[in-house]
Amino acid sequence: MKRSAWETIGGFNEAYRLHGDNEWLGRLAEKRIPRIHLVEATAPITRLAVQVHRPQLLKLLQCGGPALRLVRHASPFPLILRTVHASSIMARIATNRASDAEHAREYETLMRRFRRIPW
C-alpha cells in the first residue's frame, strides 16, 4: 500500500483485540481508498462468475466496500490457505466464553459503525 493510504487511515485501533483488521479495513473503505484482493490465476473475478462459483468471494466484494476489486495473481493456487488451529483467535472464540463475549461486542460495534463486517 502507498504510505499516503496508511497516513490517511492511521494505524490499527488497539481497542479491538479480535477484529482490529476488520475495523482498519472499514476505515479504508470509508475513505474509498482502492484496494485489491489477490486470487489465484484460475479464480473467477466478475461478479456473476463469483456469485455462481465462489460465493465467499461475493461476500468479500459485498462487505469490502466499493473500492475493492479482485485481481488474479500468477499462481493457480491460493496464496493463503485458511486454517483454524488450537491457539487461533477463532478457536479461542469457539471455546472461551470471555473471548466469545469480546467477539460479540466488537462485532456489534463494527456493525453499528459500518453496517457490515468490512473484510
Owning domain of residue 65: 3-114
pTM of the model: 0.84
pLDDT in tens, 40-99: 999 999 999 999 999 989 999 999 988 999 999 999 999 988 777 888 888 888 899 999
Q: What DSSP string describes 47-109?
A: HHHHHHH-HHHHHHHHHH-TTEEEEE-S-SS-S------TTSHHHHHHH-HHHHHHHHHHHHH
Contact residues for 102 (Cβ-Cβ < 8 A; gap 6+): 17, 18
Provide the domain count of the chain: 1
Indicate whether 34 pLDDT > 80.
Answer: yes
Average pLDDT over residues 9-18: 94
119 falls within a domain: no
102 falls within a domain: yes
96 falls within a domain: yes
95 falls within a domain: yes
- Can you give the pLDDT at residue 86? 82
- Can you give the pLDDT at residue 81? 81
67 falls within a domain: yes
Under a CB-based contact definition with an 8 Å cutoff, are residues 103 and 93 in contact? yes
